[in-house]
Structure 1
Amino acid sequence: MRENGSAALRGTIAVAVLAAAYVALALFLGRHVPANTSVAGVPIGGMSPDSAVQTLERALAPKQKAPVVIQAEGTKQELQPAEAGLAFDLPGTVDGLTGFSLSPADLWTHLTGGSDEPLRTTVDRSKLEAAVGKAGSSLNRKAVEGAIAFADGKVKVTEPVVGRTLSAAATADEIAKRWPTEEPVAAKFDTTEPKVSAQEVERANRDFATPAVSGPVKVVAGSKTFSVAPAEYAGALSMKADASGKLQPVVDDTKVVAAVRAAAANVGLEKKAQDAKITFSGTKPVVTPAVVGTSLDPKSIGSAFTAALTSADRTAKVATTVVQPKLTTAEANKIKPKEMISTFSTQFPYNPPRTENITIAARTLNGTYVAPGETFSLNGKLGQRTAAKGYNSAPVIINGRLTKDYGGGISQLSTTLFNAIFFSGAKIEEHHPHSFYISRYPEGREATISWPDVDNRFTNDTGYGILIQAGVSGNSVTVSFYGTKVWDIEAVKGPRRNVVQPKTIVDNKKGCVTQTPTPGFDVTVTRIFKKGGKQVKSSQFNTHYIPEDKVTCTNP
């Protein structure tokens, strides 16, 4: 009986020992990764969780730092994982591979099983999309419209290109799904189709562009024929897409006309009209006859040439027109000067430099022809008075005092011209009286001049041409107008008013010019226009003169 009890006790103890050993083994195995387990090819079987994480950190560090490559048709961009919010979750990867279990099957798996477990990752979505978006600047591509241009007589074709804009969200989805990977990740794009397709470019080139510049265009104008090469007219051609994306021919008629006319000029087809000219032999007018010109009709050039670009015979028939001169022979004979219509002379004191200035200016003015409607400018005719033109330094009036400058004395010619204008009846546009009165000139009928802004201008509104004759003889200068007399002009001068007496000035400065005293005053001159002895109209000229002070110079 005792022996049986002892055997039972020993059996119980043995079972307890075995159970304890089983539990101990289960506890040990539960704290370690199952045998033969790996993550991304890195063996971690039999390791504790901490050891497994450390092992994976060392082994997978290069893979975690390797750039993510985004690729699009041969173009690549790299993203740094850390900057893009990509990281390995190694604790999370190891978590769940260990754990206590008394199941014999689990213990057997821990001892003999295990597999290649998936590597867990974390993704900061905002960082990833921001990094992908930044890379898009080099991967994006603008859409290119299909187009046809013409250069140097040849067709230049631009093939259409689909535009693309990187989709940060879709590309980020692909990266998050595949990372880590050694293979490039294909970028995801939103595309923009060009309006003008490749098929439309091919059609437009076939139907218009290539035929248009396939050879010269023959132009027939009356009995003459000439050719215009593609290089000469291609600049007038273009193609523009309409709303439906169809390329339509555009022909610049202005450029076509210019190209055709340039080619016509080479064969002497067009001839410019020449105006009749009025020249003079002394005071006798001579008319050189006008010449009628011929020109290609611009309207017929545009339509005929455009049609010829794609026609079988490439021939444009254009019309010619007669071009009349602006001034015909008959009109020139009608308006040519026939008689003296005004003349005026003024006397000048002895002063050789001043006299030479007047002589040079009168010689320049002499023989000037002013056509009907034309405005004449004395400054424009004489230009700036300089020593290089032969002008001398002589007295001029500046700020109410006499001084010296090149061309001094020209105002005498200007005053003489002004009176010839006055009595011709022509329209006075601009004149400026001297600041103080000079006794050799008529009161209120005189005009100074200074370069460049004090001018003497008139418009020939007589309806006929005017020939200006000017010259110096002895101590006088004379200006005469030859034309067709329209008006009888009478000048009526009113009395002096608002008279102001001059002052006396003693000047010791170098360059001082003496002055003879003359009172200042206001005066009005009336210009009366008459026909057949009857007054038709009149105009008034009000002139204000300051006193010419007496100046005594004391500097030797």
Structure 2
Amino acid sequence: MRTDTTIYRARVRQSPRRIALRRTVFLTAVVVLLLVLVGLAFAGSSSTLPAGTTVSGVDVGGMTRNEAARTLSQRGAAVAHAPVRFTAGGYAFSLTASQLGVEPNWRQAVAIAASEGDGFGPLRGFKRLRARFFGNDVAPPVASYHAAVRYKLGQVADKIDRPGVDAKLVRRGLAVRVVEGQSGRKLDRPAASAAVVAALASLERGAAIELPMAEVGPTVTAADLTDAQQKATVALSAPLRLAYGDTRWRVPRWRIAPLLDLPQGGSTDLSIGGHGAEQYLEKLSATVSRKPQDAHFQVAASGKIVIRPSEPGLQLDLAATAKAIAAAAFSVDQRTANLVVRVAQPARTTEKAQSMGIQDVVSSYTTTYGGTPGRLHNVQLVAELIDGTLVAPGATFSFNGTTGERTAAKGFQEAPVIINGELQNGLGGGICQVSTTVFNAAFDAGLPITARTNHALYISHYPLGRDATVNYPDLDLRFVNDSDHWLLLRTFVGSGSLTVNLYGTALHRHVESETEPLVETGAVPVKEVDDPTLDKGKRVTDEIGAPPRQTSVHRLVYDANGKLLYDNTWRSYYVGEPTLVRVGTKAPAKKKKPAKKDQATVTTPAMGDAPVGGATSAAKTPTATTPASTTTPTRP
């Protein structure tokens, strides 16, 4: 019986592991219960923000969402126009939130703060418990006007940014040394932008805020210029020799020095170049070069065209010669450079001149001229400007395009010229003598004339209806070379005549022309000018004018077979020249009143007075009439 009882008791005894498990479950349940109770104790109301919650440093704990948003908005509005001081690189400037459109979103910040203290009862309690003991500061989302921020920071960067200074080579006489580079600085714009917006979004306005800067290193360091310095030392170590054929030039070290083009602009290479080398090579070129001579056309005594042959020239190849000098300068033992000279071909060879078809006179016209020394000078000057002009087949000759603007800098002088229908002194008077002669040469050649304008006034010494005026740049004389060969325009200026010849290949054209009589189209205009020196009512004619007139020229041009090529009519309208009359405006002198005399006083009558006691007659003053004077108007 004992044995059975002992076995039973052993079976009902519980194991230690099981007891420990039960204790753990119990304690856990107790802890959970306690935690739930604590969470419920601190859960508070979900309608208010947890204690210890701040937004941008403002305590909003215990407030409702609306109260917190209203409080924060009021604080933000109070500092929106308050400046924040920033510094960077030794410069200081102030900005406000309103300037850059910086606006914190307070309602969203409050919503974030509320979400961090919200949740199911006990859980909300623990969140709020954490906020109470550890605090919870929420930064609001911030909107800003990005363009304004970039613009302001760009202004700051313009003042404080300083690029790095590259190391460089400096030559002093025959010595070349390296100058160390220097670091620069620049505004760190992304970081500075974030700092500016954050500072302006803050509700505090305190000490100045330093904006972040970044260091900018030099592109070229002293180590990068080691090879260039060594090359410069070699170049200046001994003289050079230049060779061309049997000729030799010695180039001393002091002459080599300005030929060196030291590294710059981020380069580390040393070369022969720059202004000093260009000047030296140009002088060298003038020594060894010879300009090519174009074939040109000469007028023989017979009137025929003779071609003077072209001649090739010599031209120093500047680039190749500079390369040869560099190779010798940077060499320790091979210090002789051979000049590179090439044959320079003329622009117009003899063969090309022969193919242009300029052989004989196609047309010639002569006009006579005179006038003031200034006018004679201008005729000769503009004749020289157009002399030798070549007109290609199908090309157009332009008088203005050939001579350019007529200015005092080109040597033109003042002379009588027609301005606004009146004869005045002006720069370039006499030029139309040349343009008129050119027009008539093209007219007689049967060439198409595409631009021609008559003078405002009729000029008798020009061929009737065939005058041509020019004025840069609006009035031009133009004709077209419609032949298959080139035309050469030559001018020949005599003491009182001008001849314009067109040379080329004979056109075999027949030109017929008919000129209408010059007819008056109105009365002579009168220009009256007040003259205070003449008695009122008197008129003096200083110059007799001319009526407005017109004429026309009709030209027919036929080819060698009698085919009509051109049928043109040029009409010319000349304004009237006014008769100049001076009109007196001088008021007549006032008559003096006779002095009162005492009847008892006897006086001796003056000459012309009536006898005493007789009738008195007023003395008559004879009126002088000034005859009208006439002068002949001066013509351009």
The TM-score with structure 2 as length reference comes to: 0.45
Q: 1:213 to 1:515 in 2, by over 3 A?
A: same
* Structure 2 CA distance for aligned equivalents of residues 152 and 524 of structure 1: 77
Are the counterparts in 1 of residues 365 and 501 from structure 2 also a CA contact under 8 Å? no
1:501-529 deviation per Cα after TM superposition (whole angstroms, max 9, x unaligned): 312434455885423435447x5755747
Alignment check: 8 A CA contact 1:275 1:325 kept: yes
With over 3 angstroms needed to count, the CA separation of the structure-2 counterparts of 1:302 and 1:358, relative to structure 1, is closer
Partner of 1:481: 501
- The question of 1:501 aligning with 2:521 is answered yes
2:547 to 503, 507, 517: 517
The equivalent position to 1:272 in structure 2, one of 291, 296, 313, is 291
| Change over 3 Å in CA distance of 1:320–1:429 after alignment to 2 | farther
Q: Deviation string for 1:421-472 (max 9, x for gaps)?
A: 3334667576431225567655653213569976656688851433223557
In structure 2, do the counterparts of structure 1 residues 543 and 239 end up closer, same or farther at CA, with 3 Å as the change threshold? same
Take 1:201 and 1:404, find their aligned partners in 2: how far apart are those partners?
Answer: 67
Does the CA-based 8 Å contact 1:503-1:549 persist in structure 2?
no
- Whether 1:212 and 2:232 are equivalent positions in the alignment is no
CA–CA distance in structure 2, aligned partners of residues 346 and 240 of structure 1: 64
Q: Assess, with a 3 A threshold, how the Cα gap between structure 1 residues 343 and 163 changes in structure 2: closer, same or farther.
A: closer
The number of residue pairs the alignment matches comes to 375
Structure 2 distance, partners of 1:528, 1:505, is 39
Does the 8 A contact of 2:510 with 2:560 survive in 1? no
1:247 aligned counterpart, secondary structure = coil
Query: Hey, what does 1:115 align to over in structure 2?
Result: none
Specify every segment of 5 or more residues in structure 2 that has no aligned partner in the other structure, as ranges. Answer: 1-160, 187-212, 392-396, 530-539, 583-627, 630-636
**SS of match in other structure, 1:306:** helix
Instruction: Give the match for residue 419 of structure 1.
Output: 440
Deviation of the 1:145 alpha carbon: 3.1
- 1:148 maps to a residue whose letter is L
Partner of 2:573: 545
Give the Cα–Cα distance (whole angstroms) in 1 for the partners of residues 368 and 268 of structure 2: 79
- Map 1:90-109 → 2, pairs under 5 A: none
Query: Once the two structures are superposed, what CA deviation does each residue of 1:219-269 show, in whole Å capped at 9, x if it has no partner?
Result: 344444434455356445222586xxx83335548975653453464xx43
DSSP 3-state at the match of 2:346: coil
Select which of 371, 384, 387 maps to 2:389. 371
The answer for the alignment partner of 1:314 in structure 2 is 335
Looking at structure 2, the residues matched to 408 and 201 of structure 1 have their Cα atoms a distance apart, in angstroms, of 65
**CA distance in 2: counterparts of 1:362 and 1:542, whole angstroms:** 25
Aligned equivalents of 1:201, 1:251: Cα separation in 2: 16
SS in 2 for 1:205: helix
**Mapping for residues 130-529 of structure 1, pairs under 5 Å:** 144-150=165-171, 154-161=175-182, 194-206=218-230, 208-229=231-252, 231-232=255-256, 234-240=258-264, 247-252=268-273, 256=277, 259-263=280-284, 265=286, 268-279=287-298, 283=303, 289-312=309-332, 313-329=334-350, 331=352, 338-345=359-366, 354=371, 369-373=387-391, 380=403, 397-400=418-421, 411=432, 414-424=435-445, 431-435=452-456, 444-449=465-470, 463-471=486-494, 479-488=499-508, 501-509=521-529, 512-520=542-550, 523=552, 525=554, 528=557
Take 1:144 and 1:518, find their aligned partners in 2: how far apart are those partners? 77
Classify the secondary structure of the residue corresponding to 1:311.
Answer: coil
CA RMSD, Structure 1 to Structure 2 (Å)? 5.4
> 2:177 & 2:321 partners in 1: Cα distance?
25
Distance 1:479 1:260 in 2: 45
SS of structure 2 residue aligned to 1:239: coil
Identity %: 24
After superposition, the Cα gap between the structure-2 partners of 1:234 and 1:527, relative to the gap in structure 1 and judged at 3 Å, is farther
Task: Give the Cα–Cα distance (whole angstroms) in 2 for the partners of residues 505 and 210 of structure 1.
Answer: 86
Matched letter for residue 275 of structure 1 = D
* Stretches of structure 1 lacking an aligned partner (at least 5 in a row): 1-139, 166-188
Q: Is the 8 A contact 2:313 2:344 kept in 1?
A: yes
SS at the partner of 1:305? helix
Q: Write the distance in 2 (CA, Å) between the matches of 1:161 and 1:369.
A: 62
Residue 210 of structure 1, CA deviation: 1.6
* 1:216 CA displacement: 3.4
Contact 1:149 1:156 in 2 (8 A): yes
Amino acid at match of 2:545: Q
1:355–1:409: 8 Å Cα contact kept in structure 2? no
- Partner amino acid for 1:548? G
